[in-house]
């Protein structure tokens, strides 16, 4: 009877553990023990959520470990902060956002840009965690005419439509305000993602596509990319770096302040630049901080 009872209890615990993992992401890292922190004082464990497949920002690697540039930065922050121990939770975008807002997670990263709507829901620190490099994809045959966003605007300004809900829409609006004599034709799109954008540029329907460098590399440059067959017919040039941010629960003011102090130290000692070169092949902060 005792054997049966132990089996039933073990089974119930196993089911509960699996259900918990499925509901909100499996915790990847065990919290650092208090003894491992140099201060010898109390250590608070905080749960940091991150995306599972956004390479190289935040993902789960082939070993099942939390990996990526934003994760590496948070680990470096964790090493600086004696009073906190980070435990990483790979999860979905939806669970990450809902979880941070509700307090299930103290913080999280997802390559997030700042928006007015997000500022209502989350606490943004003073310092970004990374950057997305955005520019324009255009026909390689126009490379003698298009060298940057300014020359593209003078050439034609015919840009693939952008959803007004996208942060990219606001970027083009800002550009047009500062370039009233040669603005980009900003046409609102009914959809957030336009899968045929590269083809529309090739066909001449539009002359450029406002595009992330990472997306261009993965979709066009990479041999595994869905549009790699167009690699010799498309070109890309950068416009600017858009900071990405760690999102904090709005009650985590002390944690966010400690995070900012650590980030400033890591920027000053070259850690951020070194990690950026490791994951991106270049210092993405050079596009943000000049």
CB 232 within 8 A of CB 141: no
Neighbours of 87 (CB within 10 A): 18
Single out the residue of 27, 49, 44 nearest to residue 81, CA to CA. Answer: 44
Whether residues 170 and 140 fall in one domain: yes
Read off the pLDDT of residues 201-227 as tens digits, 9 standing for 90 and up. 999 999 999 999 999 999 999 999 999
Does 146 share its domain with 194?
yes
pLDDT cut 90: percent of the chain above it: 74
Q: pTM above the 0.85 mark?
A: no
- Average of per-residue pLDDT values in the chain: 88
Decide: 235 and 137 in contact? Cβ < 8 Å: yes
Residue 286 lies in a domain: no
pLDDT band at 287 (very low <50, low <70, confident <90, very high): confident
Question: Do residues 171 and 134 make contact, with C-beta atoms less than 8 angstroms apart?
Answer: yes
Q: Is residue 62 part of a domain?
A: yes
- Identify whether 163 is part of a domain: yes
Q: If we measure between CA atoms, which residue out of 158, 165, 245, 272 comes closest to residue 204?
A: 158
**Residues 280 and 150 sit within 8 Å (Cβ to Cβ):** no
Structural domain range at position 221: 132-242
| Contacts for 141 with CB less than 8 Å, ≥ 6 apart | 233
- What confidence tens digit (pLDDT) does each residue in 119-157 have? 999 999 999 999 999 999 999 999 999 999 999 999 999
Quick check: is 237 in a domain? Answer: yes
Looking at the fold, whether 184 and 254 belong to one and the same domain comes out as no
Specify if 3 maps to a domain.
no
Residue 4 lies in a domain: no
Could you tell me if 138 and 199 lie in one domain?
yes
Confidence of residue 190 (pLDDT cuts 50, 70, 90): confident
| Total number of domains constituting the chain | 2
* Spatial separation of the C-alpha atoms in residues 259 and 245, rounded to whole Å: 12
Q: Does residue 9 lie within any of the structural domains? A: no
Is 94 within a domain?
Answer: yes
The CATH number covering residue 213 comes to: 3.40.190.10
Together in a domain, 136 and 238: yes
Local structure of 199: helix, strand or coil: helix
Residue 105 and residue 51 share a domain: yes
């Amino acid at each position: 009877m005792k054997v049966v009872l132990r089996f039933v209890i073990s089974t119930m615990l196993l089911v509960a553990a699996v259900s918990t993992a499925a509901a909100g992401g499996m915790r990847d890292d065990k919290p650092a023990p208090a003894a491992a922190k140099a201060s010898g004082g109390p250590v608070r464990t905080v749960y940091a959520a991150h995306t599972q497949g956004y390479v190289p920002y935040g993902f789960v690697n082939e070993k099942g470990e939390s990996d990526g540039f934003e994760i590496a930065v948070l680990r470096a922050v964790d090493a600086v902060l004696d009073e906190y121990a980070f435990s990483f939770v790979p999860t979905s975008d939806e669970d990450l956002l809902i979880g941070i807002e509700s307090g299930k997670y103290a913080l999280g990263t997802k390559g997030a840009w700042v928006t007015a709507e997000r500022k209502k829901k989350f606490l943004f620190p003073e310092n970004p965690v990374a950057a997305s490099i955005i520019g324009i994809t255009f026909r390689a045959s126009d490379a003698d005419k298009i060298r940057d966003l300014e020359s593209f605007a003078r050439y034609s300004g015919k840009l693939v439509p952008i959803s007004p809900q996208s942060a990219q829409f606001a970027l083009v609006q800002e550009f047009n305000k500062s370039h009233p004599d040669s603005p980009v034709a900003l046409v609102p799109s009914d959809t957030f993602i336009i899968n045929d954008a590269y083809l529309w540029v090739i066909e001449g329907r539009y002359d450029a596509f406002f595009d992330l460098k990472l997306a261009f590399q993965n979709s066009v440059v990479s041999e595994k990319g869905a549009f790699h067959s167009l690699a010799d017919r498309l070109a890309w040039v950068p416009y600017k770096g858009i900071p990405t941010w760690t999102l904090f629960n709005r009650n985590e003011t002390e944690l966010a302040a400690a995070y900012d102090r650590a980030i400033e130290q890591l920027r000053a000692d070259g850690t951020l630049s070194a990690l950026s070169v490791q994951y991106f092949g270049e210092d993405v902060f050079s596009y943000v901080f000049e």
